Structure 1
Amino acid sequence: MSEYEVYAVKYGTMEGKRSNFFMAKDIHDGPMGLDFFVWVVRGEAGTFVIDTGFEEQTAARRGREIWRPVGEGLKTLDVQADEVSDVVLTHMHYDHAGNHDLFPRARYHLQEKEMAYATGPCMCHATLRHTFEVTDVQNMVQRVFEGRVCFHDGSREIAPGLSLHWVGGHSRGLQVVRVKTRRGWVVLASDATHFYDNFLQGVPFPIVVDVADMLAGFDTLRELASSDAHVIPGHDPLVMARYPQVAEGVVRLDADPIA
């Protein structure tokens, strides 16, 4: 079976408080950072980019900081965005589905449930739609009509040793990515667990469509990964400290943790 290199590429950051990121409040509340990543999976089957981040306009509108644009971060791995053939969107929230023009040749892998959610009656509610950018949704519709979207329903292997798995919870069509690596099965959890502590302590992130699905998703992560240490959270700054750095803001996730 194919084995892949896997990288986390940091592109943005924000500061918050611990109470912002956990449904159960912590009496020891204090400052806590959140990082924004895209991921690269590379092997014999090709190069796959997982999620596409957001751009300057979205960052300014939402009070986020772009640490380095996604395209520039990918270049540190010699990945040219305009040559990428496959992009996986774990879901369509603003920080995972922007940068519309970066990948003109790519087909996009998306869960059917996510497209239905982002274009359906749930978006009539401001509480649910605030995590989406309308231009991201419009651009995905355009890609559908261009024949550039591959829809999935549940679990699907998209290349040997590389598969997608629906978990829901945070967004109705959230999917995680399971990758065969030299150290075993690594799971890119995206927002199935924003931080290590979400799934290790069983405490959901407060932006959630279905709490039961999110909690069940924590179990799914453990079933798919070789161990808890093979689960990669979607936004935890600790990822940058726990894995070996190959370039500024880029760490290698198929390598053994260093911390």
Structure 2
Amino acid sequence: MSETYEILAVKYAFHDKRTRIDNFMLPDDHTNIEPIDYFIWVIRNSNRTIIVDTGMDRAEAEGRGRKFIQKPTEALAQIGIEAHAVDSVIITHMHFDHAGTLDDFPSAHFHLQEAEMAFATGACMCDEFVRRTFNVEHVCGMVRRVFSGRVQFHDGDGEVAPGVSVHRAGGHSLGLQCVRVATDSGFVVLASDATHLYENFEQRKPFSITVDVAQTLRSYTRLEQLATSRAHIVPGHDPLVLERYPAWKTQTQGRVHRLDVPRLI
């Protein structure tokens, strides 16, 4: 590997009222509480820092019934990253919890699948059922960045930096992309919402919010092809991530955990 990276999962919000019927298309239990966490991710080495997703702000979180911990940029500052200086951001997809706070990254260029931009601005957004997972201001904000030359589009597989690549893994959203990262422990795949929870891909149980079931199931296989092993796949919202990987530092337990090292369990 030409370059390897440290990867951090940074938790900024959570939702503790979800049940299994909220999390699975075919739930085996409709009533059990099954919380989810909200993350952004940091990929960095001595040469560069890349942020994956920009999360959402407090108003968005509280308006949708989520528990907000702190602004993503505040969480980044606590680990030594100033958002205004970040020059590379990967947006896995344009849903409200992944593509908000764009204005907090004024120097960044954004990496996005061309199919996701087309989906977020196309005919499907005429249907409330589909568009409710998007925020029109986030989408318009990305369009403005397209017009200012700050978006690099990818069509399927694409390199962001040596050892960091994006790969279309649609289904939850049509242009969703995962991120493959070279680390000292192998290739880690930040799945984002290609699989919200470990159980989604491990047991082939699609998440409840899915626009293309067949594509989602194919994406689970794609994640496994890209990662060194199934243990190298990191779901987008699973609280188990914070149990299976060690804290970055003792004082960041439960908030910032390291993903480029072997799992604890």
TM-score, normalised relative to structure 2: 0.96
Which one has the bigger strand percentage?
A: 1
Q: How many Å apart are 1:65 and its aligned residue?
A: 1.3
CA contact (8 A) 1:45 1:160 kept: no
Partner of 2:68: 66
Name which of 224, 227, 234 aligns with 1:225. 227
Q: Following the alignment from structure 1 to structure 2, what is the Cα–Cα distance between the partners of residues 223 and 103? A: 32
SS at match of 2:141: helix
1:105 counterpart residue number: 107
Report the counterpart of residue 8 of structure 1 in structure 2. Answer: 9
* In 2, Cα distance between equivalents of 1:102 and 1:27: 40
Superposed displacement of residue 76, structure 1:
2.4
In structure 1, distance between residues paired with 2:209 and 2:19: 15
Q: Tell me, in whole angstroms, the C-alpha distance in 2 between the residues paired with 1:45 and 1:211.
A: 39
Aligned pair count reads: 259
**Does structure 2 conserve the Cα–Cα contact (< 8 Å) formed by 1:178 and 1:187?**
yes
Match 1:26 to one of 13, 18, 28: 28
Q: Deviations over 1:3-54 (max 9, x none)?
A: 0000000000002112210111214741111000000000244100000000
Matched, 1:127 2:145: no
Match for residue 163 of structure 2 among 153, 161, 164 = 161
2:78 match:
76
Q: Distance in 2 between matches of 1:101 and 1:128?
A: 25
CA-based RMSD of the aligned residues comes to: 1.0
Deviation of the 1:100 alpha carbon: 2.5
- Pairing 1:82-231 to 2, within 5 Å after superposition: 82-231=84-233
Separation in structure 2 between the aligned mates of residue 170 and residue 48 of structure 1, nearest angstrom = 24
Q: CA deviation at 1:157?
A: 1.2
| 2:191 counterpart letter in structure 1 | A
Aligned to 1:40: 42
Q: Which residue of 2 aligns with 1:251?
A: 257
AA of the residue aligned to 1:110: L
CA separation in 2, counterparts of 1:250 and 1:94?
21
Q: Contact conserved, 2:53 with 2:91, CA < 8 A, in 1? A: yes
Q: Unpaired runs of 5+ in structure 2? A: none
Cα deviation digits, residues 40-95 of structure 1 (max 9, x gap): 00024410000000001111221111112101111222111000000000000000
Question: CA separation in 1, counterparts of 2:184 and 2:30?
Answer: 39
> Alignment partner of 1:245: what SS?
coil
**C-alpha distance in 2, partners of 1:142/1:96?**
17
Counterpart residue type for residue 8 of structure 1? A
Which deviations, in whole Å up to 9, do the C-alpha atoms of 1:172-207 show, x marking residues without a partner? Answer: 100000000010000000000000000000000011
Runs (4 or more) in structure 1 with deviation over 3 Å come to: none
Deviates more, 1:59-68 or 1:122-131: 59-68
* SS of residue in 1 equivalent to 2:14: strand
Q: 1:40 is aligned with what amino acid?
A: V
Query: What is the distance in 1 between the residues matched to 2:5 and 2:264?
Result: 19
Q: Distance in 2 between matches of 1:253 and 1:197?
A: 18
- Range with greater deviation from structure 2 (7-16 or 63-72): 63-72
- Percent identical among aligned pairs is 50
Task: Please give the alpha-carbon distance, in whole angstroms, between the structure 2 residues aligned to 1:90 and 1:215.
Answer: 18
Instruction: Indicate conservation of the 8 Å contact 2:58/2:70, yes or no.
Output: no
